[in-house]
Amino acid sequence: MLRSILLGVGGYLPEKVLSNEDLEHMVDTSDSWIRERTGICRRHIAAPEELTSDLAIRAAQEALKHAHLSGADMDMIILATTTPDDTLPATAVKVQRAIGMTGGFAFDIQAVCSGFMYALATADAYIRSGMIKKALVIGAETISRIVDWTDRNTCVLFGDGAGAVILSAEDKAGTNQDQGVLTTILRSDGRYADLLRTTGGVSRTQTAGTILMEGREVFRHAVQNLAEVAHQVLENTGLSAEDVSFLVPHQANARIIDGTAKKLNFGPERVILTLPEQGNTSAASIPLALFEGVMRGQIHRGDLLLLESMGGGFTWAGALIRY
């Protein structure tokens, strides 16, 4: 059967770093509160002239280099973002132009912090159907642009960045020992749409709005939904938690990540953590964690990776990939 193989990974973080100490001068907060309640120490913030597409292009170029491919080899780009450059066109076509890809097609996906997982599952479906052979899948955000920098409940959490992967169609045996994407699960439940939202949007206010979150409620659902989806992806493949080399979670809160890891009986050595240095980069956090994991020499070829995310919508998702 056709499988989507991860040929390359890439990532990019803007130069400017905003520390917890910097935030102490902006809102009524403290380094110790932020570290204890979230696990975050610092985050990267895009320069005013730096757009989501700029971050995405850097990550895409890095992933192409890692895969020894060029933009012209790609059949499709899916870019997950909540913070597109413009209302139209899709940010993905700007990446398409920049990497010299003149064939195929490119589009954006919006599923907030689960955006990359939705993009990955969609690209995998295109590949397994035989429609395309090579896909560039990106999560990119300048989420700092929709943060209310006077709201201590949210402004300490987020950071900017982009991560990308290259997927390639290969014929495999169809067993759970195959390399590539083994299974994906996407979920959403619109009954919780108001718990994580913006104060406005294009249609409602003709603005982008800023983030509003009922943190405690989101936390409660995240712990429950992530454990559920992790067990479901294992069940789908007949693999067990012991088979998994690394958990590659969405990086929102260290306590959520620890909770999920404990439920799977994973020690910290089996969890890829970028949260202390990057904060929550929304759709970029999982591909950035993949990139970091590979670059730090933690993730090796053949490792089984369990990816999981939870975000506004609510949306949540899981995937098992043999790298």
Just list the catalytic residues: 113, 250, 280
With respect to ligand UT7, which residue has the nearer C-beta, 28 or 269?
Answer: 28
Q: Which of 251, 259, 189 is nearest to 220 (CA)?
A: 259
User: What Rg do the C-alpha atoms of the chain give, in angstroms?
Assistant: 18
Inter-residue contact 226 to 260 (CB < 8 Å): yes
By CB under 6 A, residue 218 contacts ligand UT7? yes
Contacts of residue 50, Cβ cutoff 8 Å, sequence gap at least 6: 14, 142
By CB under 6 A, residue 219 contacts ligand UT7? yes
By CB under 6 A, residue 153 contacts ligand UT7? yes
With respect to ligand UT7, which residue has the nearer C-beta, 73 or 160?
Answer: 160
Three-class secondary structure of residue 77 per DSSP: strand
CA dihedral for 45, 48, 52, 57, sign (positive or negative): negative
Q: What is the 3-state secondary structure (H, E, C) of 220-278?
A: HHHHHHHHHHHHHHHHHHCCCHHHCCEEEECCCCHHHHHHHHHHCCCCHHHECCCHHHH
Site residues for ligand UT7, 257-296, by CB under 6 A, read 280
Stretch that binds ligand UT7, among 13-21, 29-37, 166-174, 264-272 (CB under 6 A): 29-37
By CB under 6 A, residue 209 contacts ligand UT7? no
Inter-residue contact 161 to 288 (CB < 8 Å): yes
Q: Which of 126, 157, 186 is nearest to 309 (CA)?
A: 186
Site residues for ligand UT7, 43-82, by CB under 6 A, read none
Stretch that binds ligand UT7, among 178-186, 204-212, 216-224, 296-304 (CB under 6 A): 216-224
With respect to ligand UT7, which residue has the nearer C-beta, 37 or 128?
Answer: 37
For the window 222-261, what string marks contact with ligand UT7 as x by the rule CB under 6 A? Answer: x-----------------------------xx--x-----
Stretch that binds ligand UT7, among 34-42, 49-57, 115-123, 171-179 (CB under 6 A): 34-42
With respect to ligand UT7, which residue has the nearer C-beta, 105 or 215?
Answer: 215
